[in-house]
Amino acid sequence: MLVLFAAAACAAPALAQQPSGSNSTAPGAAPAAKKSTKHKPPAAPAPTTEAASAVAGGAKPTLLKQFGDWGAYTASPGGKKVCFTIAKPATSETEPPGKSRNPPYMFISSRPAEKVTDEVSIIIGYPFKPNSEATVAIGSTSFALYTQQDGAWIKNSAEEANLIAAMRTGHNAVLKGTSAKGTRSTDTFSLKGLAEALDRSDQECK
């Protein structure tokens, strides 16, 4: 018994030092299949809790329902209700390539206390070039966005309803912008589920 106890005690630290992603297998078990370096991640992953919390002003967001690539949420920062739908891009590219940045996301929010309905906002993941504009295109229709720090919003508020209508019926929204360091980015958002998610969030904040 003492021999077995000593052997177990010696084995525990060795196991603890193994990385969590270790591919080691038990004796006699089939070797684990190697992950392909060409594996393509699923398009437009669900937004992270951190992104939804940021939109909610630090309040705990409640997921109403996930519709395709868009999640419908509600929260009450400072006791004031906000409803929004949010998504990450399906693909992101930079020029020059390989430039790192924080995860970008797009959300559409309604804030009844401020009489705001379906406001489109983009967080790009880097500081925009000062005084620069960004664009979002749905099909052949493009909309100009004004930028501030890492955020972008429709430049002409009178066109916001047209942008929402285009997003409801479109397939993708392509966002282009330039960072303060001159890096150009192109983010493509899938619009699958956007109409249903927006209907749900709007219903919550009537």
How confident is the model over 31-45, as pLDDT tens digits?
444 343 334 444 444
Distance CA 106, CA 114 (A): 20
CA distance 202 to 70: 14
Is residue 8, in this structure, part of any structural domain at all? no
pLDDT exceeds cutoff 90 at 27: no
Is 23 within the bounds of a domain? no
pLDDT exceeds cutoff 60 at 17? no
Q: If you compute the radius of gyration of the chain from its CA atoms, what whole number of angstroms results?
A: 22
In sequence order, what DSSP letters do the residues of 151-187 get, joined into one string?
EEEESSGGGHHHHHHHHHH-SEEEEEEEBTTS-EEEE
Residue 33, in any domain of the structure: no
Q: Which domain holds residue 133?
A: 49-204
- Please, where are the H alpha helices in 31-159? 49-55
For the chain, how many structural domains are there in total? Answer: 1
20 in any annotated domain: no
Q: Distance between CA atoms of 89 and 15, rounded to whole angstroms?
A: 38
**Checking phi first, is residue 89 left (phi over 0); if not, alpha (psi -120 to 50) or beta?**
beta
180 with 162: CB under 8 angstroms?
no
Q: Is 178 a member of any domain? A: yes
What CATH number has the domain bearing residue 118? 2.60.40.1880
Query: Is residue 98 one of the residues assigned to a domain?
Result: yes
Q: Let me know if residue 55 belongs to a domain.
A: yes
pLDDT digits (tens, 9 = 90+) for 75-121: 999 899 999 999 999 999 999 988 889 999 999 999 999 999 999 99
Q: Does the residue 43 lie in any domain?
A: no
